[in-house]
A = this chain, B = another copy of it.
Amino acid sequence: MLGSSPVLANVIDFSSGALSEVGEVLLRRVSDLVLLFGDKAAAEVLAEGDNPVVYQVFLPPEREPGRPEALLYATTVIYPGKVGDEYFMTKGHFHVEGECPEVYLGTAGRGMLLLMDRHGRAEAVPMQAGTVVYVPPETAHRTVNVGDAPFVFFAVWPEKAGHDYQSIAAHGFSHRILEEHGRPVMVSNPDWRQP
C-alpha cells in the first residue's frame, strides 16, 4: 500500500517543533556558533559555561532520498536567548542550487527571518504563528528568535536545493538582528565584505 512507509505522514507539535516520526535531529549549541556572533568574547564565555542549546532542527525520515523532484521539510525551534545584544539564531545558508526557493511557516513564538541577496541587500521579516514567507532564489536565510519563548517554524524546500553554509561561515551576513531598548533592530555588520 501507499502508506506502508512510516514516513508518509508525520505530526508536528506546533509549540515545540517535535515530530512524531523523526529521521535526524540537528542540535546546535553556542559552541557551534561562536564565530557567527558579533560579540565573540561573549559567545566564548557562554560556550565555556552552560553552553546552551541555541536551536534544533527536526528532520523526518527522508521519503525519496536523492530524487531531484523530491521535496524536503523540517521543523526548527530556536530557543530564547542572546549573545551580548544579538538574539539566538541559526547559522543561515544559501542554497547550493541558488535558483531554488523555500517556503517558511511560523507555528509558535516570535522570530525574524533575515534575508540577504548576493549583493548584501538584506531584509528582516517578522514571523509568528501563521506567517508564511517565501524565501526567494539566490537569497541567504537565517532565522532569529526575538521573543521570550521558543520560536518554531516549518520549512519546505526542493531536495535538489542543497545547503551552502560555507559562504556564510566565511563572509557572514551583511546585517545582524540586535536588541536595542528592548526591541529587535536590523543593523549593518561592519565586518561583512561582499565575496
Contacts and interface: CB of A to CB of B under 8 A. Distances in A.
Interface in A62-106: 63-64, 67, 69-71, 73, 99-103, 105
A62 B65 CA distance: 29
Contacts of A154: 105, 132
A38 interface: no
B123 A71 contact: no
Interface stretch (A22-30, A134-142, A143-151, A162-170): A134-142
Nearest to A68: B99
A101 B70 contact: yes
Tallying the copies of this chain within the complex gives 2
Chain A: interface secondary structure? strand
Q: Which of under 10, 10 to 19, 20 to 34, or 35 or more describes the interface residues of A?
A: 35 or more
A132 B9 contact: yes
Interface of A: 1-3, 7-14, 19, 60, 63-64, 67, 69-71, 73, 99-103, 105, 115, 117, 121-123, 125, 127, 129-134, 136-137, 139, 154, 156-158
**What are the nearest 4 A-B pairs in CB distance?**
A156-B156, A3-B123, A10-B132, A2-B123
Given A8-B134, A73-B132, 14 more contacts: A1-B121, A2-B123, A7-B134, A9-B132, A12-B131, A14-B130, A19-B132, A63-B101, A63-B134, A63-B136, A64-B136, A70-B101, A71-B157, A103-B156
